[in-house]
Amino acid sequence: MQYAVLGTGVVGRTIAAKLASVGHEVAIGTRDPQATLARSEADAMGTPPFAHWHQDHPEVRLETFADATASADAVVNATSGAAALDVLARAGAENLDGKLLLDIANPLDFSQGMPPSLNPVNTDSLGEQIQRAFPGVKVVKTLNTMNSAVMVDPARVAGEHHVFVSGDDADAKKAATELLVSFGWPAAAVLDLGDITTARGTEMLLPIWLRLWGALGHADFNFHIQGARAAS
Amino acid sequence: MQYAVLGTGVVGRTIAAKLASVGHEVAIGTRDPQATLARSEADAMGTPPFAHWHQDHPEVRLETFADATASADAVVNATSGAAALDVLARAGAENLDGKLLLDIANPLDFSQGMPPSLNPVNTDSLGEQIQRAFPGVKVVKTLNTMNSAVMVDPARVAGEHHVFVSGDDADAKKAATELLVSFGWPAAAVLDLGDITTARGTEMLLPIWLRLWGALGHADFNFHIQGARAAS
């Protein structure tokens, strides 16, 4: 499969490298590939420049959002949530139509300082916003409830733990589940919450995730729904 | 210890019965005890009238909010979240001062239909609102992330799972933890998230709790933070 990963940050890089390692062709999408490659300083979060990472991952192409998406069979939204709709518009509705879109982002608003707020919240979610804005794409919200290192290496967290999927298209959720299994997730760890409105629930996990990160002092943890097995 | 449980619904009844069963004196607080006892019909949620329950639990007193709170050493807020501040005002700041207040409620707003919204959300929580409104009380937010049957009988959910505590007073959190242990919670299952602002995180778990309830078809589940043990 050909994947487009939208976003050049740690999450995008981590997912892109994993997709390539399990045998997919991967292009990372960015606004301006030359500008992305030209950066030589770490960003405000201390993330090393993209070009450094790219030297170790030459198998991953770097292209514009539109070029990466046009050639892809499936797309991963790994942008910061606030940028997602703008980035997807640049990727192009015509390039997204009919494809699986894994939305792994969270709509965190850092503008008021830490801890961030969620926007939208309660009666809407980023996953729903994307599905409404691009009705031809098949949005599956998943992986947004954990650190990116855990997304691609679930065994970092010992014991059973869950990854949620939310979406309106059953086949798209099946394809997303197969991808998760190829990442190392046991099929039984994939918990289907229902339609895309259930993304409200997983996005609203972020505030306690951030507090747990603070309380535990590390990010190698994940949510396990104890008792889920009793489901009919 | 003498406990006041504010709220006559399923949660209040369940907690009151458990407190009595582990040896505490318990008074349930209500606005008008005579009116509460006079009701003979199930409510809109199908909950049987209080008087029926009370026949099986004569050891639990029914008093006004103020009377129940005045004689109590510790108080449990088991109201619907929207009513909490009004109920606590009726209980009386002078009756709450210096006492442990276990806030097990969630600020769910059902006015716009199902699923309910949270209000406040993001930058505030019911736990914080109570602590601000009654600065003399020692609020510990806990037990609000699960069904009431699980609160008082954690073994209903097989395997390890967590109960969170949030609060500004270390001694109050210690007392809350001891109470949880007396309910059957292993001490290692009590996860201290930090100060009362961390209640935002646990209250914002409710949307996914509601979706899980729908997806699983039962309420005998709970959150387990896999990897929490690695905490320093």
Hunting for tokens 């009756």 — which residue is that? B95
How confident is residue B137, by pLDDT bands cut at 50, 70 and 90?
A: very high
Q: Give yes or no for a contact between A88 and A133, defined as CB atoms under 8 angstroms apart.
A: yes
B231 — pLDDT class (breaks 50, 70, 90): very low
Summarised one tens digit per residue, pLDDT across range B165-217 is: 999 999 999 999 999 999 999 999 999 999 999 999 999 999 999 999 999 99
Contacts of B214 in chain A (CB under 8 A): 194
Res. A68 pLDDT band, cuts 50 70 90:
very high
- Average pLDDT in the B48-74 region? 97
**Closest CA relative to residue A156, chosen from A189, A192, A185:** A185
Instruction: Say what the pLDDT of residue B25 is.
Output: 98
Band of pLDDT at residue B229, cut at 50, 70 and 90: confident
Residue B112 is predicted with a pLDDT of 83
Residue A25 has pLDDT above 60, yes or no: yes
- The pLDDT confidence band at residue B102, using thresholds 50, 70 and 90, is very high
Dist CA A173 CA A74 (whole Å): 12
pLDDT tens across A33-61, in order? 999 999 999 988 889 999 999 999 999 99
The 10 Å CB-count burial string (b at 16+, else e) for A172-191 is bbebbbebbeebebeeebbb
Q: What is the pLDDT of residue B45?
A: 83
Task: State the CATH number of the domain containing residue A9.
Answer: 3.40.50.720
Q: How far is B221 from chain A (nearest CA, A)?
A: 4
C-alpha to C-alpha distance for B6 and B27, rounded to whole angstroms: 9
What letters, b where the CB count within 10 A reaches 16 and e where it falls short, cover B131-147? beebeebbbbbbbbbbb
pLDDT for A111: 86
Residues of A in contact with B122 (CB under 8 A): 117-119, 121, 207
Distance from CA of A218 to the nearest CA of B (A): 7
Distance CA A100, CA A180 (A): 14
Whether residue A149 is predicted with pLDDT greater than 80 in this model: the reply is yes
**pLDDT band with cut points at 50, 70 and 90 for residue B232:** very low
Cross-chain residue pair A215–B193, CB shorter than 8 Å? yes
Structural domain of B113: 2-230
Cβ neighbours around A171 below 10 Å, total = 10
* Contact residues, chain B, for A192 at CB < 8 Å: 215
Number of domains in chain B: 1
Over residues B21-38, the pLDDT tens digits come to: 999 999 999 999 999 999
Q: What is the pLDDT of residue A43?
A: 87
Q: How confident is the model at residue B11 (pLDDT cuts 50, 70, 90)?
A: very high
pLDDT over 70 percentage in chain B: 99
Name residues whose C-beta falls within 8 Å of residue A105's C-beta, 6 or more positions apart in sequence.
A7, A11, A77, A78, A79, A80, A81, A84, A126, A144
Q: What is the pLDDT of residues A155-180, one digit of tens each?
A: 999 999 999 999 999 999 999 999 99
Across the interface, do B232 and A211 touch by the CB < 8 Å criterion? no
Q: How many CB atoms lie within 10 A of CB A142?
A: 28
Show the tokens assigned to A82: 């606030």
- Residue scoring higher pLDDT (A230 or A182): A182
The overall average pLDDT reported for chain A is 96
Distance in angstroms (rounded) separating the CA atoms of residues B219 and B171: 32
- Residues of A within 8 A of B112 (CB-CB) are 123
Q: Is the pLDDT of residue A231 over 50?
A: no
Report the residue from B164, B204, B226 with minimal CB separation from A224. B226
Residue pLDDT, tens place only, A101-123: 999 999 999 888 888 999 999 99
Closest approach of A119 to chain B, Cα-based (Å): 9
